[in-house]
Structure 1
Amino acid sequence: MNQPVSRTMGQQFGRRSWAEPWKIKMVEPLTVTTREERQKALEEAGYNTFLLRSEDVYIDLLTDSGTSAMSDRQWAGMMLGDEAYAGSRNFYHLETAIQTYYGYKYVVPTHQGRGAENLLSQAAIRLGDHVPGNMYFTTTRFHQEHAGATFHDVIIDEAHDTASLHPFKGNIDLDKLQRLIDQVGADKIPYVCLAVTVNMAGGQPVSMANARAVRELTARYGIKIYLDATRAVENALFIQEREEGYSDKSLAEILREFCSYSDGATMSGKKDHLVNIGGWLATNDRELFEEARNLVVVYEGLHTYGGMAGRDMEAMAIGIEESVNVDYMRSRIGQVRYLGDLLDQWGIPFMKPVGGHAIFLDARAFYPQLEQDQFPAQTLAAELYLDSGIRAMERGIVSAGRDQVTGDHHRPKLELTRLTIPRRVYTQAHMDVVAESLKAVYEARESTRGLRMVYEPKYLRFFQARFERLPG
């Protein structure tokens, strides 16, 4: 199969158009609302797209977590669910799939990714520890801090530059990591958290060379590496495309090698594994595995189901195999690139190069008249919904939360609005609608007013915070 390109790109360079490598067997009707209905829904939701009812949404790009369309093989697997409380055969299918494709020895199932993050944090972190990572993720950092650690961002500087075309903006800066080790001591760093791809940086990948170099550095100090492997297969495609020596290797081979430079991983199966629920923690550390297997009974469920039904474990095991199919993965990232090509033609600012799972709009560039305290990324998500019923989400100052010590806002350099593309759900025509709506919102940017926060929950505020429009 040829490398997917946008239809506009294909026409421009005389290349053949491409289509999704699947056909539709079932449809779910979408609701098209009026602007007046959307205004009412937005006000009732406190201008927070997380609080909108899904029935009021036309094209839902809030997240790619659990929103994928499962294959016919996965649905068939759902009928083979062994719902025994202990020792479900579906767990052993899942365990074998993880061991085969990711290479880790021990597996603990969880209800979703944050369950795995909690287990790892509780098992590995002690009060006063420090966890370096290549940019924070909301739930990951919360669990690390809740367990008593301080998170440190050691990603390369290019990750904070939306215009940089660095091919691996998710890479860890080895000098930053070394300085942290020298500052706090290796015994205070339970592990390095290496995310692939890096969500908050725009879905940017990590190179194999960087993973290998981080392994070499941490090995000198006895520091472990745990992946946030949620989109590791997407990361593998970028390595295949961009890194010398990997163009002839399969995604499965690249994935297995990448994981070999780590000691374990947390996984939200709701992304790469193409299922609606589920996750896992995997490790090569027998001692940590025993602790996590004890904790999972407290927090999640028995160690052979971890909060998942047998049918969900079976669907996930099948999804792991399907995820490393190169035709599927090229089409998945190709659809994101198609949307990026359209936005680029119209000069709409977003994080470049295009990442694996989403387009991240540069809300600062959209609304230079808005201070960060006026929540430009939240404003952009609200304006897009108001224009067309498309639901996106904020990834800026609201998601960053507050400093636990000072109580001040964390102020990230990036103020982004995420358009997250579910897997095997929408067509290119839907992407056209999204692009045209964004063009309309961009053209009206100068007259757009920001927001103020009127309700702030204690934890992970971006999920439930409420806002109102600033007066004109």
Structure 2
Amino acid sequence: MSTRMTGEEQVQYLLSFYDEFQKWKANKEAELAKIPAHLLAMAQALDSTFRPFVNHIVKPKHPAGVDERDSFRVRATKVVEAGLNSFFFPADFLEVDYLSDSGSAAMTTEQWAQLIQGDESYGSNEGWPIFNDTIAQVFGPKFASVFLGKSSDAALNKKFHNVKNFNYIVNQGRGAESIFFAALADSLVRRDHATFTSDHVEYAICCSNNFFDTTSGHILNINNRSVLVGDKEYKITFKLMNFPNPKVKNGTYSIHDKYLGDGMFEALEQLVVEKKTRIGCVFTTITNNSGGSQPVSLAHIKQVSDLCKKHNLVYIMDACRFAENAFMIKKIENSEKSVQEIVHEIFSLVDGFNISLKKDGIANCGGAICLSPMSERIMQFVDQPGGCMLQQLMDTVILQIGHFTYGALTGRDIKAICVGLKHVVKLEYLEGRVKQVHRFAKILTDLGVPVLTPCGTSAVYLDVDKFFADKDKSLRKNYFGNSLVGISLAAGIRMCELGSSAFSSPHGNAPYATPEEVSGNFVRLAIPRQLYSDNDLFASALWLAFLFENKAMIKPVIDRPNLRQLSLHHFKMMFDFAK
């Protein structure tokens, strides 16, 4: 059995990568010296492109040490202190941060202007109607606010004006998930209790592709939840069911694939039709973040929508990267429709959506729960005997977050989000955003580094199984993805393991019980919107190319004790390098 290095041994081990990197770079520079300078310059110029924005703000970095090697040593020490945990590593020691594209965007000047225009009134601030108008404009008229009387359906306005609210601002996507799943659990029990054969019932929450880890955590958090119907108490538990794309799961994808975000619809359909499992609702994640930030097709969304309508199942969208997904549909299908039109088509097929506005809202905070008053499947949970889903959502927001007309956000944040949502569907923005990510993926591929292809929209995913192709898949339990993360942190590059460690645990607190079962073993490099230049990305690519060519140096890691059994262990795990 492997033993772990001491702290000092780990620092010296990490520092050896810096020394070898310098030798490796010198050898590569000698090889490049043989190529005429004008050809090198021409290659660099031909591969360049104008950005669709200009920078107005510069934030200076503060070197971690007195020189480059000392900075590497200082960071290496911090890596060991943090147990190779990306979330624990201090951001001010970084050169570039690919941990997440959530809340890390550089906002536009129009958004910054709205920060000055914000109205900080406690209730019904200026941003509240603007937010509702923006939701209807961006996602389609079926989400127009009946609470404010703005629906095209006059009967719905008359029934719900100032009575029932269907759109909720919250602090971020996780807040939306937490509030929604609790309300859904109670509503399902109120609807179905007469059919229960015991006082404990289990429902499956099905994702037609892949849940993200925090979504999984909120679902698993519904465990033996007590729901009182009349004078009878029931216990409800949710379980996860993912239907990942088999090509991503098995590593058999190719550059010719189009919609790797589509899940296994036939397997989902079989589960629904057989009726052996109670299903609470069905989700689809766009883009499919845990499956490589891959686009989901309109055909898949329509199939799932039709299935849910036929079997009276609520269909919810995890909409964090909705605009990027619509953009990919436009490009793949060579569609003449605008991105905005495709967004409307997507959301006409669902009953509601949860969204982190820190992604395709280009905001630094914020989220939303939006349910359609035109959906029969949502309406069955409104004004149920003993409770109402909408009332529960409103009460929870008020008690835990803030008044439902601001949802924990400042008035200035709400206005900035509204501008961001309108900006994010513009074709010129999306062209610049997605093409930068694709350029990063291409240079990595050209340097021989194995990444998930075709590239998605918000991140580049290192394929850990292919990176270490000479190692048996059963060695996933050595968590080489976390080895890559820890070594790269010492170089000032922060990434996120989303693979055999993040998604597996034998303790029932993760989507998969073993590392071998996990669908896709990746390290994600999420690209913040409008923040980095290509030079930042290409310098990172050079480092990763070095690691790939020198992977024999890379040692496995060992869990620090008593962490993997914790809830949301992905965020809490700490490791040591093995000897």
Provide TM-score, normalisation by structure 1: 0.92
Q: Is the 8 A contact 1:207 1:243 kept in 2?
A: no
AA in 2 matched with 1:137 = F
1:154 and 2:240 equivalent?
Answer: no
Residue in structure 2 matching 1:128, options 189, 202, 213: 202
Structure exhibiting the larger radius of gyration computed from Cα positions: 2
With 209-218 and 25-34 compared, the bigger mean Cα shift is at 25-34
- The CA distance in 1 between the partners of 2:74 and 2:448, in whole Å, is 30
Matches within 5 A, 1:90-169: 90-103=127-140, 104-105=143-144, 106-125=166-185, 126=188, 127-133=201-207, 134-147=209-222, 148-162=237-251, 163-165=253-255, 166-169=257-260
Q: Is the 8 A contact 1:283 1:289 kept in 2?
A: no
Q: Which residue of 2 aligns with 1:445?
A: 551
Q: Is the 8 A contact 1:172 1:214 kept in 2?
A: no
Q: Over aligned residue pairs, what C-alpha RMSD do you find?
A: 2.2
Residue in structure 1 matching 2:487, options 383, 408, 432: 383
Q: Which residue of 1 aligns with 2:196?
A: none
AA in 1 matched with 2:249 = H
Q: Which residue of 2 aligns with 1:4?
A: none
- The CA distance in 1 between the partners of 2:370 and 2:506, in whole Å, is 30
- The CA distance in 1 between the partners of 2:471 and 2:61, in whole Å, is 35
- The CA distance in 2 between the partners of 1:114 and 1:406, in whole Å, is 17
- The CA distance in 2 between the partners of 1:89 and 1:80, in whole Å, is 10
SS in 2 for 1:281: strand
1:141-194 CA deviation, whole Å, 9 max, x = no partner? Answer: 1111212211111233123244334211111322111121134457x2221111
With 390-399 and 156-165 compared, the bigger mean Cα shift is at 156-165
1:66 and 2:103 equivalent?
Answer: yes
Q: Which residue of 2 aligns with 1:454?
A: 560
With 409-418 and 318-327 compared, the bigger mean Cα shift is at 409-418
SS in 2 for 1:359: strand
AA in 1 matched with 2:60 = P
Q: Which residue of 1 aligns with 2:84?
A: 47
Residue in structure 2 matching 1:348, options 434, 444, 449: 449
Structure 1 unaligned segments of length 5 or more: list them: 1-7
TM-aligned CA deviation for residue 392 of structure 1:
0.6
SS in 2 for 1:399: coil
- The CA distance in 2 between the partners of 1:317 and 1:249, in whole Å, is 23
Q: Percent identity?
A: 26
1:214 and 2:298 equivalent?
Answer: no
Q: Which residue of 1 aligns with 2:478?
A: 374
- The CA distance in 2 between the partners of 1:15 and 1:55, in whole Å, is 34
With 155-164 and 208-217 compared, the bigger mean Cα shift is at 155-164
- The CA distance in 1 between the partners of 2:264 and 2:514, in whole Å, is 25
- The CA distance in 1 between the partners of 2:331 and 2:448, in whole Å, is 26
- The CA distance in 1 between the partners of 2:489 and 2:346, in whole Å, is 38
SS in 1 for 2:262: coil
Residue in structure 1 matching 2:540, options 404, 414, 434: 434
TM-aligned CA deviation for residue 428 of structure 1:
0.8
Q: Is the 8 A contact 2:244 2:291 kept in 1?
A: no
Q: Which residue of 1 aligns with 2:408?
A: 307
Q: Is the 8 A contact 1:230 1:268 kept in 2?
A: yes
1:254-302 CA deviation, whole Å, 9 max, x = no partner? Answer: 1111011100000000000101000000001352433322222233221
Q: Which residue of 2 aligns with 1:324?
A: 425
Q: Is the 8 A contact 2:220 2:509 kept in 1?
A: no
SS in 2 for 1:129: strand
SS in 2 for 1:128: strand
Provide TM-score, normalisation by structure 2: 0.76
AA in 2 matched with 1:326 = L
In 2 relative to 1, CA 294–401 (structure 1 residues): closer, same or farther, beyond 3 Å? Answer: farther
- The CA distance in 2 between the partners of 1:462 and 1:344, in whole Å, is 28
Q: Is the 8 A contact 1:32 1:389 kept in 2?
A: no
